Amino acid sequence: MNSKRTLLIILIIAILAGFFIFGGIYFSRKPNSTESVVFILEKGEGSKEIALNLEKEGLIWWGPLFRAYVLVMGESKKLQAGAYELNPSMNIPAIVRKFISGETLKTVITIPEGFNLKQIEDELSLELPRPALDGFFAADFKSEFDFLNDAPAGASLEGFLFPDTYKLDASMTDKEVAETFLKNFDNKLTQDLRSEIKIQNKTIFEILTMASLIEKEVKTKEDKEIVSGILWKRLKNNIPLQVDATISYVIGEGTTKISIEDTKIDSPYNTYKYLGLPKGPICNPGIESIEAAIYPKDSPYWYYLSTPEGKTIFSKTLEEHNYAKFKYLK
């Protein structure tokens, strides 16, 4: 009798355990829930850490059941890092399928042409938790991207963060976000463009610096090409570029009127005070400005200004330029 009772107890325990295991795996926490939870599966996390985090978020009944399931099913090595949209109505197999598929939650972010590094960080911070791109330098990525090789020591990523629409994962590290921008730039700067830069005996860094000035100064493709010709011509003849946008970069974005005092600011970006190109790019230019910097248009002009309405006025002489300033900027 005792043995029969023992067997019965064991059978009951086995049935209950089986129900507990089966239910814990295949029954969801909240079958009718419509609640969404953003769950981040970090790179390098093992099934134990993932299971504990899922239980902590209230997405599964018991962490060890998740771990046991992925180990028995041979799925533990297939789980892909990323940010996933989950909800408590999903059971463990459904969650595992999601992790294996790599269907990560993407954030769509559009970076306008002409945004500088700080503005890009601000835009990213609206959607991503850790946008600190100013902590990186061109040198940090030179082993991955050869277009950074001629960037001077201490150069930031300003100019190389190509403006475009990006789909970014909320779990991406700062470095991965930076690499995404740099890979796009690498694709946009075609071999033909690189060859032309080399033929002109210029560097990619110089071209980007010039393109950033053009991007901030004028808007249309034709105006950009003419302004490019003017600025390169002034450089060749040792005439200060006197680009207002470089002063705005020093004293802060949003500045539209430059005073005489502003032009005396001691900064390597001040193209009124110092000859040559500024220390580096002042924004991240689009492909149209980059191409304009590579393919400038010859003209008889030496000066230009932009009216409040955005029209570009070109002048051949300083006298003409001063008259244009009186006429359009008074």
Domains of the chain, start order: 25-101 (3.30.1490.480), 106-188 (no CATH), 198-328 (no CATH)
What is the distance between the alpha carbons of residues 211 and 274, in angstroms, rounded to a whole number?
18
Burial of 235 (0-12, 13-18, 19+ CB in 10 A): middle
Give the gyration radius of the chain's Cα atoms: 29
The per-residue pLDDT of the chain, averaged, comes to 88
- Check residue 279 and give its pLDDT: 96
pLDDT exceeds cutoff 60 at 42: yes
Question: What DSSP letter does each residue of 187-219 carry, written as one string?
Answer: HHS-HHHHHHHHHTT--HHHHHHHHHHHHHH--
- Check residue 1 and give its pLDDT: 53
Taking the model in full, what pTM does it have? Answer: 0.76
- Check residue 239 and give its pLDDT: 96
Ordered alpha helix ranges (H), the chain? 2-26, 47-56, 63-72, 92-101, 117-125, 174-188, 191-199, 204-217, 221-236, 244-251, 287-294, 318-328
Banded pLDDT at 150 (limits 50, 70, 90)? very high
pLDDT exceeds cutoff 60 at 109: yes
Closest CA to 208 of 132, 279, 137: 279
